[in-house]
Amino acid sequence: MHQYGYDRIVPQSDVKPPPSDPAHDYGRQLDLWIRGHMIYPEAAQKAGIHGYTTVTVLINRQGKVLSIRFVKSSGSVLLDNATMSMFIGKTLPGNPPLKGAVFHIDLTINYTLVGH
């Protein structure tokens, strides 16, 4: 063991997991939800359309989307509609580690063509 830089074996009971960070944990859940619901419109891909859309999404503590507001349009109806459709009538992960009945998420979706 010493040859690998270890002087002793640490029993499993001595290893403590890092403290949980509720904001980080919620951010990870939200990131997974967004990645699972993002769709690059096929028509936009075929036409070589790319760009980014920035939106503000207002949700309640249960994760229900209350409103979506464009901050910046991509310049393409196809990409903008894909971003809006991702949130309309949806429920995101709920119970964020924030106070208040509602909160907002500022989000930029970057539609990038790979290999073009």
pTM: 0.74
Q: What is the pLDDT of residues 58-86, one digit of tens each?
A: 999 888 999 999 999 999 999 999 999 99
Q: What is the pLDDT of residues 3-55, one digit of tens each?
A: 444 445 445 555 555 666 767 788 888 889 999 999 999 999 999 999 999 99
User: Long-range CB contacts (< 8 A, 24+ apart) of 93-96?
Assistant: 93/26, 93/29, 93/30, 93/33, 93/63, 94/60, 94/61, 94/62, 94/63, 94/64, 95/26, 95/61, 95/62, 95/63, 96/26, 96/61
